[in-house]
Structure 1
Amino acid sequence: MAGIYIHIPFCKQACHYCDFHFSTSLKKKDELVNALVKELRLRKDEFQNQTVETIYFGGGTPSLLTIDELRLLISEVYRNFKVAENPEITLEANPDDFVSVRAGHIERSRDARTIFEEYKSIGINRLSIGIQSFFEDDLKLMNRAHNAAEAKECLSVATRYFDNISIDLIYGIPGLSNDRWLKNIETALAFNIPHISSYALTVEPKTALESFIKKGIVENVDDDVAQEQFHLLIETLEANGFIQYELSNFGKPDYFSRNNSAYWLGKPYLGIGPSAHSFNGMQRGWNVRNNSKYIQSLEKNIVPIEVETLTVTDKYNEYVMTGLRTVWGVSLQKIEQDFGMQYKNYLLQQAKKHIEEHLLYLDDAKLLVTKKGKFLSDGIASDLFMLNLNGNNR
């Protein structure tokens, strides 16, 4: 199995917390789409022996593309790769691309019902909608392009056409009380959303949020509050039939993201577009993080990618990091089989103190994070990393 990720690097405006690669100018959108098509054609041989089971449009804001542009890109995937009979095709979207609610008046861009019907007609069968919050103050602090009414109206319409919908919610926002956070979750549940991705607000370098915090305009993020809200999230969603199958992802049975699950299970994926990352099991690659350079390079039939060959230790570290984030955990059998006894013994030695502190536990020869340890899982994983074992860094 393999997946294809297509990065659409355009947004209406910059969110204050975001450090992803994007542009707020759509001037080069046509050239960018043509470059994406060219990259798909140039890289068709990379997955000759793989069946593509997921196609994911991420960004940026892929819902800024027209139906014709999305249709073109999907058809190019089918033309150049072997695609499974029923692939998961996900489109990331923002509420304001479908509806506008100002002063209580509702307007639908090109009629939202028509857009959703067109999405389904070209094969898109999963939506990932960037809600982030249902409260106006939070959305303004983050500089989201939509308002709270648009978030609700978008879901009201989208759920009539798609049953496989995921939404993003952010916790740990300065000024967000536990009560309001719980209302955010309850609002999402009221729409019968089967998948929720939820992240703590993080202060990334060189973002507007970092600048505002340094100047005292915005309160700093409180990790203790974020941890409380994280546990509230887990308790509420699990009580409503969700499974926390990955640290930040919760799904009803049969609604786990097939695309993201493939990442965490170490399956190969191809990243198309500026800043997109790829992985083939042996190497990791990343495209240039610049729209103009990306377009210019593809015009010369050159994929602007840097490639790193992973060492045994790199692969071990990545498996530990991703495994601990998931419900599947870290398999001791896989560690021994893929990396050797030295790595297995090292892992158990490093894990011992975390097991004693009830942050990790062993179950059926798998190392998993306890409920207490979930919020700390990335830090725990780093303690289990290996820099180099007896010079064996193949």
Structure 2
Amino acid sequence: MIYIHIPFCRKACHYCNFHFSTNLKTMDAVIAAIEWELVLRKDYVQGEINSVYFGGGTPSILPPGTIQRLMDRIRQTFNVVPDAEITLETNPDDITADQLELWKQAGINRLSIGIQSFFEEDLVWMNRAHNALQARQAIELAQQAGFFNITIDLIYGGPTLPDEHWRENVATAVALNIPHLSCYALTVEPQTALDKMIIQHKKEEVDPDKQSRHFELLMLWAAEAGYEHYEISNFAKPGYRSRHNSSYWAGTPYLGVGPGAHSFNGSSRQWNVSNNTLYYKRIGQQQLPFEIEYLTPEQQVNEYIMTSLRTIEGLDTSKLSPAEAERVNQLAEKYIRTNALTRNGSCLVLTNAGRLLADGIAADLFC
């Protein structure tokens, strides 16, 4: 699978810690470099490509025809299967009937729309580029254009989001017949604008108890609406799991292209420089501007524990060495006794209570 990182946004969301720039002057040079990096790294992933994901940043900010240009390059360079899942991350304010048609022509068959909230006060607090009206209109426009494989992002646990508004956000998504939801607790990442504003007492701190309550309510409401909670942050109607993200959690090798993009081949992880100018200049010299980390056997086991435990299938101890399986099963006993984990054959699966403690449980099971 292939991930394309488009490092541009119209506006900087206060909570975001992904690599992006609101300076669009280097966009043409970066896109040309992404095309060339695809060629330079054509042998990184072997076999057929069943998923392409345009993330960012804000890929929907690209000028008309650019997604088509990049997809043409991908198809020329890799063996993309006819029914590949081709996802485009979009902001509501970029969605128009004309753009939707161009994206369809380019082969986009799945939209990931960054709604975050259907309430104006939340969007203003986050410094989002769209408003509440655009949030609803974007979904309706996409459905009218024939996009039905849609996922939306929602953020919970923020200071401006009371329980009742969180309920309405989820209910609105259900009413709009959205088949996939990605829901994230508002996280205060170091060095972000939000982090600095909280330190300066310009923004209210996040309440962890509120976040836990919102997550518990989310699990209840999503189950009642017929969504499968197939990964900690992801909920899908039958047949609408994200093929791309599911491959990440299964440990499938992938190629990441663009400034700041990460790649993984099973034994090593590498990441491109998070600097747009340095990126396109190095690519122009036919140099790959990345750092690499080779994973030890212990790190590979820990990677599997961390990703598999987040999924509905759970951590399959039969995939570990006998010694590791015995160690993990022994450590898991205390979480089984407290109803944070259950056993399903050789698999350890988080309960709803355990999902609140997922990171801590995984860390406890590490080598």
TM range (shorter): over 0.9
Q: Matched residue of 2:286: which SS?
A: coil
Say yes or no: does 1:153 pair with 2:134. no
Partner residue of 1:56? 53
Partner residue of 1:374? 355
Note the 1:1-394 alignment, pairs <5 A: 3-47=1-45, 49-98=46-95, 112-161=96-145, 162-335=147-320, 340-386=321-367
Partner residue of 1:391? none
Percent identity between the two aligned chains? 49
Deviations 1:215-261 (A, max 9, x none): 22221111111111111111111111110111000111111000000
Q: Matched residue of 1:116: which SS?
A: helix
Q: Please report how far the alpha carbon of residue 165 of structure 1 lies from its aligned counterpart in structure 2 after TM superposition.
A: 0.4
Q: Please report how far the alpha carbon of residue 139 of structure 1 lies from its aligned counterpart in structure 2 after TM superposition.
A: 0.6
Give the letter aligned to residue 201 of structure 1: L
Deviations 1:367-388 (A, max 9, x none): 01011111210111001111xx
Contact 1:159 1:191 in 2 (8 A): no
Stretches of structure 1 lacking an aligned partner (at least 5 in a row): 99-111, 387-394
Q: Matched residue of 1:28: which SS?
A: helix
Q: Please report how far the alpha carbon of residue 159 of structure 1 lies from its aligned counterpart in structure 2 after TM superposition.
A: 1.4
Contact 2:68 2:105 in 1 (8 A): no
Give the letter aligned to residue 30 of structure 1: D
Q: Matched residue of 1:24: which SS?
A: coil
Deviations 1:176-214 (A, max 9, x none): 111110001111111100001000001110111112212
Give the letter aligned to residue 119 of structure 2: F
Structure-2 separation of matches of 1:76 and 1:263:
23
Q: Please report how far the alpha carbon of residue 113 of structure 1 lies from its aligned counterpart in structure 2 after TM superposition.
A: 1.5
Structure-2 separation of matches of 1:67 and 1:248:
32
Structure-2 separation of matches of 1:43 and 1:279:
13
Name the Cα RMSD after superposition.
0.9
Deviations 1:141-173 (A, max 9, x none): 100011101101111111122000000000001
> Which consecutive aligned stretches of 4+ in structure 1 deviate over 4 angstroms post-superposition?
none
Q: Please report how far the alpha carbon of residue 350 of structure 1 lies from its aligned counterpart in structure 2 after TM superposition.
A: 1.6
Q: Matched residue of 2:24: which SS?
A: coil
Structure-2 separation of matches of 1:245 and 1:75:
32
Q: TM-score, normalised by structure 1?
A: 0.91
| Aligned length in residues | 366
Structure-2 separation of matches of 1:331 and 1:30:
45
Give the letter aligned to residue 343 of structure 1: E
Give the letter aligned to residue 175 of structure 1: T
Structure-2 separation of matches of 1:212 and 1:42:
41
Q: TM-score, normalised by structure 2?
A: 0.98
Relative to structure 2, which stretch is displaced further, 373-382 or 112-121? Answer: 112-121
Structure-1 separation of matches of 2:153 and 2:160:
19
Stretches of structure 2 lacking an aligned partner (at least 5 in a row): none
Structure-2 separation of matches of 1:364 and 1:345:
14
Q: Matched residue of 2:241: which SS?
A: coil
Give the letter aligned to residue 24 of structure 1: T
